[in-house]
Structure formats: structure tokens, C-alpha cells
Chains A and B, each alone.
Chain A
Amino acid sequence: MAMTIHVDIVSAEGEIFSGVAEMVYAPAVMGEVGIAPRHTPLVTQLKPGEVRVDTGSGKDIQHFYVSGGILEIQPHVVTVLADTAIRAADLDEAAAQEAKRRAEEAMADRSAEFEYAKAQSELAEAVAQLRAIERIRKGKRG
């Protein structure tokens, strides 16, 4: 039997995923990390992107979008404390496009340093959302 690791993905507004997996991938600030069972303890911050949970046994890989958060790894438990994590399939592409457009507009207008930084992070989020949606689409077709 393949080794598994328990995965919990929670956000402040609700529980998103709880179950076992063979492999988990998460967008850490220093680059994407892949977590196999019996990984060494680790805490890291997450950047906007998607968390993939490979439940193994030929089942689909599940995608979750996170806009940041904290990842904690214990040898048999992975905890994702997401800032906002909604099911990636539920993401509204139009909303993401809209957010990107707004962010780009705000970028063009660099009136204030603060707004620029905010817009940049909004843009990063929007791009990550779009990428997650594209990957899901490809997966469905293929």
C-alpha cells in the first residue's frame, strides 16, 4: 500500500479540504514545494497560487487556489492555513480578468507608492487564478 499523508486545507471562513494524499504541491515563497509522506517538519509562507493534492490511486489531482497563507508540515500531517482558499473549479474567470484589468489600470497610474504595491500583489493574484483555471480546463479536455 502506498504511503499517505493527511492534508488539511482551511481558511478563516471555513474548512476547504480534509483527507489523505500521496503527494501535495504548494506554492511556497521560495518556490513550489512538493511534499511526500514523512517530510521533515517545515513552516513556510505561501504566495498566491494553487495547492495541488494528489490523492493517488489514479484519482484526479485536486486543485485549490490560495491567495497566500502559511504551510505547516509535520511528518504525517500537512496543514495549509490559507488566507482565501476557494475551490479552484469555482473560480470565476471573468472576475479574475476584471481584477487583473483593474490592477493593471491602477499600475498604470502610479500616483501613490502604496497603491502601486497593492496593485502589484493584486496582479500576482489574478495571474495565479487564471493559471489555475487554464490548467483545470486542459485537464478536463485531456
Chain B
Amino acid sequence: MAGAKEIRTQIGSIKNTSKITKAMEMVAASKMRKAQNRMAATRPYAEKMRKVIGHLFHAHPEYKHTFMIEREVKRVGYIIVSSDRGLCGGLNNNLFRKLVKELKEHRDAGTEVEFCTIGNKALGFFGRFGGNIVSQATHLGDMPHIEDLIGTVKVMLDAYAEGKIDRIYIAYNSFVNTMTQSPTFEQLVPIPSTMEEELKHHWDYIYEPDSKEVLDNLLGRYVESLVYQAVVENGACEQSARMVAMKSASDNAKNLIDELQLIYNKARQAAITQEISEIVGGAAAV
């Protein structure tokens, strides 16, 4: 039987760990609520933006923006949204694993890939993975601001406008519910033409000052808002994944402690029994 003292210290250390995981669980739970609210708050903007872009596809702008034109794909760009910190279960790894599978297909097809990483984890992973990281943003905190992302996204969009990249995807975890987050890939630009609905009649907007400037501005903002939404959603995913991971860690710790406590009690009992029988035996011998 292992020494009672060793078991006692082991129980002590597990107890300490479980205190930490319990605290992290509670912190994550409260942050999750906030992150979910933020996610809900950003939704109207994204919806309106989508509507306006939808109208634009309805209309017939005399100026075709590069974001609206499909071209042959030789190089693709990926904007990868991840968390800054770990201890959130398989959240980042699931995303990366699915992404690596996609990347392999690109490699087999002979297309080159460039990355733009948001969050520490993606930066670390794709740094090791051996890709070309053109831009990155880390330490966005719990309250990401769109200003923090504009620069990062612009690098990608500029590369697209210059023809260095022919297609840009975004990879992030979309929030299904507290227990489920699903890794999602979406095509950012060229803007998927599935948004084109049936055309009712021929019309166009009046553009002020002119269509080129307005469209440049609008489509840039559209992409930014999509990326921003992805970041906010990924933030909510991170917190809920962490909460679940920490909850299961606390539960495991509790089970371990129960088991060890049982072993400890048995060992203690055995020691006492042995001592008594020794005393009794000794007394009988006298």
C-alpha cells in the first residue's frame, strides 16, 4: 500500500488544481455571456451590410469592382481567426486540423497559399506549419475593436487588388450553442455571386461622389465587417469552449479526489488494524 502521506499530498495538489479550474470556469462563464451579447450587437450591422450588398448586386453598377469579378485561382489567401490563449479544449485544434486538410487539397492542385492570422494560436501553429504569413494581429482582448483589424485585413485586400491573391477565405469557429462550435470556412472575396437574386428590373443607384469611390469604400467595409463578426463570434466560442473544458476538468478532479480519498481511508484503516493486532499479539505473548 502506498504511504498515507503520499496520497494525502496528491489529494492536496489535485484540490489546488481543481480550485483553479473551477475559478477559470466561472470567469469563462461570465465572459461568455458578455461575448454573446457582443455577438448579438454586431448582428444588425452585418445584416444591413449584407442587404446593401445584395441590393448592389441587383443594381447594375457601370463600374465593376475587382471584388465582384471571379478570376482564375493561382494563389489563395486565408484569414484565420483563433484565440489568443489556450486551455479552451479542442477549439483551435479542430479548426486547424480541418484547415490543414483543405490546404493539402490546395497544395495538390498546385495553388499557393498565404495566411493572415488573427490570434496567438494561429500565429504559432501556422508559423510552424511553414506557410507564408503576410499579416497578423494578436492580443485583441475580450473586446475586439474594428480598428485593430483594419490594417491586418487591408494587407490581404491590397494583395487581392494587386492580383497577388486570387481568392480570400476566412476560417473561424462559428457559434452554434454553448456546447457546440463548428469550424467554418467562407469565401470573402470575390464576393460569392450566390447572393444574386432574381432581377426585377433594370435600375442603378445614384453614386456620390462616383461609383468607384463609393464601391471601394463600401466593399472594403463589407469585408471588414465580416472579419469583425468572425472575430467576435470566435471570441464567444473561445469562452464557451473554455467554460466546458474547465467544467470537465473540475469534474475529473473531483472524481480523482474521491478515488484517492477512498484509497487513503483504506490504507489508514489497514494501518490501524495492523497496529491493534500487533498490540494484541504483543500483549498475548507477555
Contacts and interface: CB of A to CB of B under 8 A. Distances in A.
A12 B41 CA distance: 8
Interface of A is mostly: strand
B217 interface: yes
A29 interface: yes
A15 interface: yes
Nearest to A80: B48
A87 to B, nearest CB: 15
Contacts of A12: 42, 45, 146, 225, 228
Contact of A72 (B44, B45, B55, B225): B55
Contacts, number: 73
A40 interface: yes
A29 B214 CA distance: 11
A44 B48 CA distance: 15
Interface string B10-52: 0000000000000000000000000000100110110011011
Interface in B126-146: 146
Contacts of B56: 43
A81 B49 contact: yes
Interface stretch (B83-91, B205-213, B237-245, B254-262): B205-213
A15 B37 CA distance: 12
A29 B213 CA distance: 11
A50 to B, nearest CB: 18
B44 A42 contact: no
B275 to A, nearest CB: 70
A72 B52 contact: yes
A70 interface: yes
B42 A45 contact: no
Interface of B: 38, 41-42, 44-45, 48-49, 51-52, 55-56, 59, 146, 203-209, 213-214, 217-218, 221, 225, 228
Interface of A: 8, 10-15, 18, 28-30, 40-45, 70, 72, 74, 79, 81
**What are the 3 closest A-B residue pairs judged by CB atoms, nearest first?**
A44-B208, A14-B41, A15-B44
7 contacts: A11-B45, A13-B38, A13-B42, A14-B42, A18-B44, A42-B205, A81-B221
